[in-house]
Chains A and B, each alone.
Chain A
Amino acid sequence: MDKQSITLTVNGRNVEFEAEPRKLLSDALREDCGLTGTHVGCEHGVCGACTVLVDGRPVRSCLTYAVQMEGHEITTIESVGEHGALSPLQQALHEAHGLQCGFCTPGIVMTFQAFLAGHPDPTEEEIRDVLSGNLCRCTGYQNIVSAIQLAARHMREGAAHVAT
C-alpha cells in the first residue's frame, strides 16, 4: 500500500509525515514524530505501556492507526512536566518509589493524568481497577498505588490552595 501524507496534532504541534495507513500510532509517534517517550510493550493492547491521550482520553496507541488520528488532539508523556519541574503525579511516583526500570511509567502517567482529572479523590479499589490496565514487572504495584494516592492528595491540596 502506498504511503500517504498524514498530519497529526501532537502536544499542540502539527507534525506532517508520510506513512502507510497500517502505521500504528505508537510507531508514528516514535519514528515519525521523534517522541520516544511512548513505550511499546506487547503491541496488542494488553500491557498499557503505549497509552497516550486522544482528545483527553487514554487510548492504546498500538491499537490505533496514525491515519485515524488526523483531526484529533494527541497528548504524549513529553507534554507532562518539564526538566527540573515534574508534574504532581511524576513527583509522587519519584517520592513513593513508584517505579524501578521505568518502562511502564509513561503509560501509567498518561492513564492517571486522565483518570485523576475526572476522579480527584479515588478509592484504592478504583485506583487498582484502573491500574490493572498497565502491566509493571518491577514494583509489585504497591508503591504505584501509594504514589497515585499521594499525587491525588497533592493535586487536591494544590487545587484548594489555588481556590483560596
Chain B
Amino acid sequence: MELVLLTIAISILIPIFHILLINIFRIDGLHIKLMFVSFLLYIFVGIIITQVIFQGSNEIIMYYITSLSTSVFMCLFYMEAFSMIARGFSMRIVTDLFIQKSLSPEKLMEDYADGKGINWMLEKRINGIENLNLITKQSNNITLSSNYSFFIAYISLNFKKILKLGRGG
C-alpha cells in the first residue's frame, strides 16, 4: 500500500519534469516527445525508490510490478489532462469566451483559437494524421495511404459496431 501511495505522490514529478524540459529546450512541437521523456524519468525514479526501499525482499518483483502499474496509470492520467489543455475543444471555447468577455456563436467560430477560426481546427486534425503518414493530400483530394490507417479504421468501425456507439468524433 505504501508503495502505491508513494508512487502516486511522486507523480507530481511528471509535470515538473515536463515543464522543466519544455523550458530548457524551448522548441515548438516537442511537447509530446518531452512528455514521454518525463514519463520515462518518472518511471525510472519509481523503480529506484522501489529498489532502495524493498531491497532484499522476497517479493521484490511484485513490488516492481506494483510500482510500474501505478506509474503507467499516472502517466496515462497525465496524458489525458495534458491533451485536454493542449487540444481540448470545450476548453478552447471557454478560454476564448473568457478572453473576449462575450461572443456570438458566429464571432466565436471566426475568432476560435486566437483568431485562427474554426476551420483551422479541422485542418489541424487533417495535418496531424497526414504527418503520421496515415493519409496523403493531393490538391483537394485526401486518400488513406498506409496499411496502418486501414487497420485503425477497421478496428474502430468494428469496435463501435460491437458496442453500438454510433459514429463518434
The answer to whether A and B belong to the same complex is no
